[in-house]
Amino acid sequence: MSALAKRPKLIATDLDGTIVSNYGEISKRTRDAIFAAHEAGIQIYYVTGRPPRWMREIAETFPFGGAILGNGALLYDIHREKILEEWLMSKEAQIETVNRLRVSIPTISFAVEKHNYFHREKSYIPRWDVGLDNVGVHDIFEVIDSPATKMLARCSDQELTSDEMLAIARENLTGIATVTHSNPHDSLLEINGHGVSKGSTLSLVAQRLGISADETVTFGDNPNDFSMLAWAGRSWAMGDGHPEGKLHAKSVAEPHSDDGVAKVIEELLELPV
C-alpha cells in the first residue's frame, strides 16, 4: 500500500491563519484533532514565521511537539524555550539585501530579528511587538553587526502590497536571500538567509526522523508556507489563504475559521497505519 494511502507519520502545520484564528485563539475542535494525532503516535511540528517570544501560548496549549521558527531559521524546543539549531542570515547578506532593496523600493524600511529581540529603523512602524523596541535607529546598518534570524522590510506608506514587494525583491535578491511574506495585506516582507525556508528545514527534520515526504502532511495559508506545501506528499492550502496556495499544495482545506485543519486530520486518522 502506498504511503499516501496510510496514516501520516508527521504533521507539520503553520500557526496564524491556519490553526490559530485571526483573533488569536485555537478552537477546541482543532486542539482535539491535534491531540488525537499525537496520541496516535504521529509527530507534530509547528512551523511558523514567529520568533521564540511568541510561542509560549502554543507551548501552554500543546504539551508536545517540535517547532521550526523564523520561516525555517530556528529549530526550537518550545517547552524548554531553547534554540536547538539555527540557520542564520549572514551580516554580509543583510547588508547586500538592504543596499539592493533601497534602490528597487525607495520607500522601504527595515527591521532585524535576532533570537528573541528585534531592532528597527525609526521609519519602520511595527504592527506587533509595539513597544519592544520603542526607540529605533535612523539606519538599520547601525545594528547589522552579526548574523540574524531574519530581516523584515516594510513599506510603511502601504505604497505596494506584500505580493508586489515580493516580486520586486525576488528579482533583486536571487542568490542572496530567501524572500517571502505571511500577510498579503500588510506591505511586509520576511527575508531569510539564502536557501532557508520552512520546507528546507522541515525536510531536514523529517529525514533525521526517518520520515519521507510521502509520510508527511503539511498545512499552510501564505507564501512562507509554499515551500513545505510543495515538499510534502500530502499538503493542504487553507481555503481562505493566499490565492496561489492551491498552486503549491496538493489539496485545499476548508477555511481556518471553519476548522479546516481539524477536519482533514480527523479523516487522516481513519486511514490504516
Q: Which residue has the cell 520603542?
A: 134
Cα dist. 160→8, 134, 152, 169 in Å? 40, 25, 15, 12
Q: Measure the CA–CA gap between 19 and 223, rounded to whole angstroms.
A: 16
28-39 helix and 260-268 helix, angle to the nearest 10 degrees = 30
Instruction: State which of 132, 162, 193 marks the end of a domain.
Output: 193
Residue 41 lies in a domain: yes
Least confident of 66-80, 143-157, 213-227, 230-244: 143-157
CATH number at residue 179: 3.30.1240.10
Co-location of 47 and 168 in the same domain: no
Q: How far is CA 54 from the centre of its chain?
A: 12
List C-alpha distances in Å: 114 to 80, 145, 197. 19, 11, 17
What is the reported pLDDT for 126?
82
Domain contains 273:
no
How many structural domains are present in the chain?
Answer: 2
Q: Is pTM beyond 0.75 here?
A: yes
Q: Which three cell numbers stand for residue 197?
A: 525556508
Q: Any idea which residue has 496561489 for its cell?
A: 244
Give yes or no: residues 209 and 83 share one domain. yes
For 198-219, write each residue's pLDDT tens digit.
999 999 999 999 999 999 999 9
Q: Are residues 184 and 204 in the same domain?
A: no
Domain limits at 237? 3-87+197-268
- pLDDT value at residue 134: 62
Phi, psi for residue 271 in degrees, rounded to 5:
-75, 155
Residue 6: partners with Cβ closer than 8 Å, 6 or more residues away: 215, 271, 272, 273
Q: What is the CATH number of the domain that holds 20?
A: 3.40.50.1000
